[in-house]
Structure 1
Amino acid sequence: MVEEPSAKRPRGETSDQSTEVDNVQVPGQKHDYKVHLKEVGIHGKEKLDVVCTSNPDEADKMISRILKRVCGLYPQFIGIDVEYTKEDEPLQRAAVLQLRVEELCLVYHITAATKWPKSLRPFLKEDMFYTFAGFSIEGDKEMLRSSGLEINPHNYINIQCKWRVPFKGRKRYHSLADVAGSMIHPFYKQMKDKIDRVEDHKLWGISPLPNYLIEYAAIDAYATYESWKRIENIREGLESAKEAWKNYDNPYYAY
């Protein structure tokens, strides 16, 4: 359901102000709305529970759900992705922030927002309980910073620097589609072809987002999170096997 727009207008603010509900210093179509897509299909039978919103209270609710979900997991990490405003705008900025843990996905529409969610800044700056994992994360961090948000610089994983797809050629970095197509399912090799890369990418700053772009953003976040989850499982399994082999004759070693 799409809710009616808010009449409140934004005021400027800087990224180092308090974590109270501050007004957003981003240009864009201000529109206070929420869209809840409860069963976004991906490959196979798995479904995503997706909330797309510019409303601070609704974003806070979803962040709370994500926190509860991630705190029950090991290892604890959150998939993160960012979509940008049009390149031909005077200052390109972050338009949409995607956060994902397991089946939960928040698509936060920054450029449509009139206020920051109370929990968003401390959530992004957390340095103890979870880690963010993403692709091209340096560019995402720069775009978020231009919109007044910052990720803890010591608490993120750039998957492109941690994993290469075997036998995929000599290019310096492998894309999300490369990695997800290898780690999850071949379906993801064409994931970026689901929208028009030129025209549709101009729409991220416009609100409300159409459902097909919300689904695209959610699948991006899913592929990011699930790729790193599987990479971590493989890494942990290999390390565990090495330890077990070294201690094979140790009767006191706990497998």
Structure 2
Amino acid sequence: MVEEPSAKRHHAETSDKRSNLVDINVPSEKHEYTRTLKGVELHGKEMLEIVCTSEPDKADEMMSRLRMKGGGLYPSFIGVDVEYTDEEKPPQMAAVLQLCVKELCLVYHIAAATKWPKRLKDFPREEKLYTFVGFSIGGDKRMLQESGLEINPNNFIDMQRK
């Protein structure tokens, strides 16, 4: 198995407004990869498909699939989690974003990517179609915002508070 690069800090920078992608600066850590894991067993009965990627085009494709998966539900519930860079080496930033709808999961390696996919950038801002659900998500929302991705606060449920 190929060893993936460590998560490094970065600062979001917006690219040309006409582009579908938004540049982020990841000093010497650009590493495009995609790994698809099918048939990942969950609790002995459910099977997941997990796509881990740092490629913006692949993430856009997965965002389309996540939208279709949740299409029959209104609003769709999307599981969300964020992993961070090393807190011992500030500034701490979002390194990995995980989104799941039913048995389909996207793991987007922010720290290894060079761009925010447009669909991923717009998706969390939807007002009525999606409800994002996570556990202890205050830090996750803050880290994503500092990394250039903002989730609509009205559509975010923190399971720790429920």
Distance 1:23 1:11 in 2: 10
TM-score by length of 1: 0.56
**2:129: which partner in 1?**
129
The alignment partner of 2:160 has SS state of: helix
Equivalent residues, number: 154
TM-score by length of 2: 0.86
**1:155: which partner in 2?**
155
Distance 1:28 1:133 in 2: 33
The answer as to whether partners of 2:11 and 2:24 remain within 8 angstroms in 1 is yes
**1:93: which partner in 2?**
93
Please give the per-residue CA displacement for 1:182-214, whole angstroms capped at 9, x wherever unaligned: xxxxxxxxxxxxxxxxxxxxxxxxxxxxxxxxx
Distance 2:146 2:88 in 1: 16
Q: Which has the higher strand share?
A: 2
Q: How does 1:232-243 map to 2 (within 5 A)?
A: none
Gaps of 5+ in 1: 3-9, 163-255
Q: How does 1:190-201 map to 2 (within 5 A)?
A: none
Q: How does 1:25-40 map to 2 (within 5 A)?
A: 25-26=25-26, 29-40=29-40
Distance 1:121 1:12, change over 3 A: closer
Higher Cα radius of gyration: 1
The alignment partner of 1:154 has SS state of: helix
Residue 12 of structure 1 deviates from its aligned partner by 5.4
Distance 1:128 1:112, change over 3 A: same
- Farther-moved stretch of structure 1 (153-162 vs 91-100): 153-162
Q: Considering only aligned residues, what root-mean-square deviation do their CA atoms show, in Å?
A: 2.4
Gaps of 5+ in 2: 3-9
Q: Which has the higher helix share?
A: 1
**2:13: which partner in 1?**
13
Residue identity (%): 60
